[in-house]
Amino acid sequence: MRERYQFGDVEARWQERWEQARLYQAVEDPGREKFYCLEMFPYPSGNLHMGHVRNYSIGDVIARFKSMNGYNVLHPMGWDSFGLPAENAAIKNKIPPARWTLDNIAQMRGQLKSMGISYDWDREVASCLPEYYRWTQWLFLQMYKKGLVYKKKAAVNWCPGCNTVLANEQVVDAACERCGTAVQKKALEQWFFKITDYAQDLLDSLETLTGWPDKVKIMQDNWIGRSEGARIHFALEGAEGPAADLPVYTTRPDTVFGVTYMVLAAEHPLVERIIAGTEYEEPVRAFVRKVQGMTEVERTSTELEKEGIFTGAYAVNPMNGEKAPLWVGNYVLLEYGTGAVMGVPAHDQRDFVFAKKYGLPIRAVIQPEGETLDAETMTEAYTGDGVMTRSGAFSGLGNREGMKRVAAHLEASGSGGATVNYRLRDWLISRQRYWGTPIPIVYCEECGAVPVPEADLPVRLPLDVEFLPTGESPLNRSPEFYETVCPKCGKPARRETDTMDTFACSSWYFLRYTDAKNDRAPYDAAKARYWMNVDLYIGGVEHAILHLMYARFFMKALNDLGLTDTREPFQNLLTQGMVLKDGTKMSKSKGNVVSPEEIIKKYGADTARLFILFAAPPERDLEWSDAGVEGAYRFLNRVWRGIYQLLTENPDMTKMPSGAPEGPLSKEDQQMRRLLHGTVQKVTEDIQVRFNFNTAISAIMELTNGLYLYKESPSKHWGVLREVTDHLVLLLSPFAPHIADELWEATGHEGFVYRQAWPAYDRRILADVDEVEMVVQLNGKVRDRMKVPAAISREDTEKAALALEKIRDAVGGGTIVKIVTVPGKLVNIVLR
C-alpha cells in the first residue's frame, strides 16, 4: 500500500477491474429478492453537470447498499436521445443530428464511467436508435388498436421559434420551455393519446403510492383536476337538432336559474356559424383574432381584464326557457370544459365583473340564511351556501340539496345531468420536427389513415437529410421517406411526417431495461415480471407532471393490453434538489457552472461523490462549496493515512481474522466497539430508512476520528482495530467505492467490496452501557457534567423522559432544544 492516496491511479485501476469482471451485470434469479434502482435517463447534451452527478451518486449509494444486503440489483443507464437540441445543433454546426447525438452519448458514457457508477452497461438503451424506437412505434400501434390513439383538428400550442407544437405541460409562463419564445395558438390536425380515459384511475391510484413524496402526488392531483358538477344542454335559438345543442359544464347547477348571459371561447366552432352574414361578423372576427394572439396563461390569469363581444345570438335555458345572450370572451378556453360557460354574475366573481362592465343583468338566486341579497346594491358576487330563491320548484331548498335535485331533473328531462369533469386533457403527441420517433401511419386516398404493419417496423428516419434555417422538418422535403404504398390496397400513399413527442419514448424505457437486447418484442414478459416495478426511481421534481404522469398512463394502458402485470411503474420516488452556486441554479449564462470533469481530475470521483452526498439531504437544494470539496478530499486522505499507519505499524494485521475480536477487552476496547456498532446502526438506518446520506457520512467521519484516538492508545487491541477498519471500509464503500476497494485489498481481503455483506451491528454491544457521560449546556454555557442512565441515548423514550426531567431540575430549569448523541460515548443536551 502506498503512503500517499493517488486517486487517479486507484480509480482508473478499479474501474478497469470492475468492467473486466462485469461486476454490475444483472441476471434474473427467482431465488433472490430483486431491487430495481433507476435514475431518470438523461438527454445527451454532451457533458454531465453537477445535477447529474448528484442524481447518479444518490442512486449508486442505494444500489451498492442493496447489493451488499443480498438483493439482486438492477441498475441500468440509457439515453433520452431524441429532441430539438440535436436539430438546432444540425442547423448551427452543419452536423447530422444522429452523429451529434451519438458523439455526445459516447462522451457522457465515458464521464459516467469515470464516476464509478455501478451501471449494467449491457442494458444500455438509446431512444434514437431503430432497435429502440421500433418498439415505441409498436406500442403506439397497440394503443391505436385499443382506441387510445386518435387524430383530430385542434387549437394547439405553436412555438414559432422551434416551429413545432408543444403539449400544454411544455408551455411555461406563456412561453416555450425550450427556447423561451412566446407561444401562439394554431389549428392543426394532430395525434393524441387518450390519457383522459385514465383520469380517474390516475387519480385514485395516487393513494397507493405511499413511497412517493406528498408534494408530487398533490401536483398530479391538481393537474388531473377532478371536479363534480352537472352538464347542462342549452339550445341555440332558431336552430334545430344537433346544431342547436350548446352544452356547458358547471360545478354550481344550483345557480342555473341565475344565468343572464353565456360566453363562448374564441375558438369555439359555433362562433363562425352564428355570426356569418350578420352585422356582428366583422367586429366579432376582429375580437377573435385579438384573443387568439393571447397566450393561455394570459387568458386564465386572475389579473386579466375580462373582455367580450356580443354575437347577436341567444341560447335558451332548459330550466326556465329564458333566452341568454351569447358573447365571446377572452377568458374562456376551448380546451377546458366544453368551451362555453354560463354567466351567473350574482354568484361568480368573474361573471360579476364582466356583467358590471357590459351592463348585463344580475339575478340573485341563492340567499344567505337570514339575509336578502339585492342585485342592485351588490358590490361583489355571493359564492357561499344558502337557500335557493327565484328557482321555480327548487325555491326554498338548501343549495347543496338543490345541486342534486337540479342535476336529477336535467337527467330526467334529457337536458343534462350530474357529471364529473377533469382538468386533464388528452396528450398531444404530434411534433412537426425531424429528430423523433416517426408515427407509423400512412395516408391513402382510397383507405384513409392506415397503420403500418408490425412486420414493417421500424419506420426508419432517413439520415441523409438537409436542415434549413427555417426549422421546417426535412421529412417534408424527403420523398425517399414519405413516398410509400398503402399496406391495404397497394396504391401510392404518403407517410405521416410528424414525429412523436419525446415523452412517448421515456414513458416505457424502464420496461425495456428488463430485456434490452430483445429483437422479437419490447421485452420478455417473464423478465419484466421479475424486475418490475422499479423499487426506487430518482429524479427532479420538475418531472412531477410531465414524465411521471405519462409513464403512469403508459403502464396502466399496457396492463389493460395484457402486456404488463402491474399498473404503476415506480414503487418509491426520490426527488432530489438542485445544485446551486452563489444561491442560484448553475447555468452557463450565469457563469457559475462547475465542471464535474475538472473536479474529478483535481480531486477524484470519490471526492466529488462524497461532497455532493454530504453537503445536504438529497431532497433539499445543495449549495456548492469549494471548501466543502476540499474537506471531502481531506477526509478520504485521512482514512487512507490512518489505515496506512496501522498497516505500517503491524503488517500482520492483514492476516488477522475478521469479525469480533478474541480475548478479554478493556473498557477502552469496549467503548471503541460501541462507537463502531453505533455507527453501523446509524449509517444503515440513514441509508435504508431515511436517505440521509449526509448524516451517514458524518457518522463515518466521527468513527474515523474515534479510530485515530484509539489507535494511539498503548493498550489498543489489534483485533478491535481489525474489526473497525473492516467495517469502516465497508461503510464507506457506497459513497466512495474506488478507495474502498483499494483499502479492502490492502488490508488483506479478496474480492470486490460490492460482493461483500453489509456489516451488521450487535445490539448487545449497544445495550451493554449502564451509564454515559452527559454534558448539559444552558444558554450556551456548560452547567454540569454528570453520569446518567444510558437509556437516554437509546430508544427507551419513557426512561429518557424521566432522566431529562431530573437534568432540568439539576440545572434549574430550561427547555431542551437539542440532543446530540454519540453511541456509547456521551450525550450533549442543550437547554435554554
Q: What is the predicted pLDDT for the residue at 822? A: 47
| pLDDT, average across residues 710-722 | 95
Q: What is the predicted pLDDT for the residue at 264? A: 98
What Å distances lie between residue 684 and 720, 758, 769, CA to CA? 20, 9, 21
Amino acid at position 70, single letter = G
Q: What is the predicted pLDDT for the residue at 446? A: 96
Q: What is the predicted pLDDT for the residue at 779? A: 60
Q: What is the predicted pLDDT for the residue at 769? A: 53
Rounded CA-CA distance 166/275 in Å is 31
- ω into 458 cis (within 30 of 0): yes
Rounded CA-CA distance 736/115 in Å is 10
| pLDDT, average across residues 222-250 | 95
Please write the tens of the pLDDT for every residue from 278-291. Answer: 999 999 999 999 99
- Residue closest to 470 by CA, chosen among 684, 767, 160, 753: 160
Rounded CA-CA distance 17/22 in Å is 8
Q: What integer best gives the mean pLDDT of the chain?
A: 91
| pLDDT, average across residues 407-427 | 96
Q: What is the predicted pLDDT for the residue at 825? A: 46
pLDDT band per the 50, 70, 90 thresholds, residue 810: low
Which residues have C-beta within 8 Å of that of residue 96, sequence separation ≥ 6?
90, 463, 465
Q: What is the predicted pLDDT for the residue at 828? A: 56
Largest interatomic CA distance in the chain: 105
Answer whether 112's CB lies under 8 Å from 56's CB.
yes
Rounded CA-CA distance 566/534 in Å is 11
Which of 257-271, 379-393, 577-591, 783-797 is least confident? 783-797
**Cα angle 727, 52, 67; round to 5:** 35
| pLDDT, average across residues 770-774 | 56
Asked if pLDDT for residue 188 goes beyond 50, the answer is yes
Q: What is the predicted pLDDT for the residue at 817? A: 46
Please write the tens of the pLDDT for every residue from 143-174. Answer: 999 999 999 987 777 888 877 777 665 777 77
Q: What is the predicted pLDDT for the residue at 824? A: 44
Asked if pLDDT for residue 790 goes beyond 60, the answer is no
pLDDT band per the 50, 70, 90 thresholds, residue 794: very low
Running DSSP on this structure, what letter comes out for residue 207? G
Q: What is the predicted pLDDT for the residue at 793? A: 43
Q: What is the predicted pLDDT for the residue at 448? A: 96
More confident residue, 743 or 468: 743
Asked if pLDDT for residue 827 goes beyond 60, the answer is no
- Of the CA atoms within 13 Å of residue 64, those in its CB half-sphere come to 24
Which residues have C-beta within 8 Å of that of residue 27, sequence separation ≥ 6?
72
Answer whether 488's CB lies under 8 Å from 444's CB.
yes
- Residue closest to 236 by CA, chosen among 298, 162, 166, 312: 312
**Above pLDDT 90, what percent of the chain?**
77
Three-state secondary-structure class, residue 528: helix
56-81 burial: b if 16+ Cβ within 10 Å, else e: bbbbbbbbbbbbbeebbbbbbbbbbb
pLDDT band per the 50, 70, 90 thresholds, residue 818: very low
Q: What is the predicted pLDDT for the residue at 788? A: 55
pLDDT band per the 50, 70, 90 thresholds, residue 592: confident
More confident residue, 25 or 94: 25
- Indicate the burial class of 46 (C-beta count within 10 angstroms; 0-12, 13-18, 19 or more): middle
Asked if pLDDT for residue 735 goes beyond 60, the answer is yes
Q: What is the predicted pLDDT for the residue at 329? A: 97
Q: What is the predicted pLDDT for the residue at 542? A: 87
Please write the tens of the pLDDT for every residue from 509-523. Answer: 999 999 999 999 999
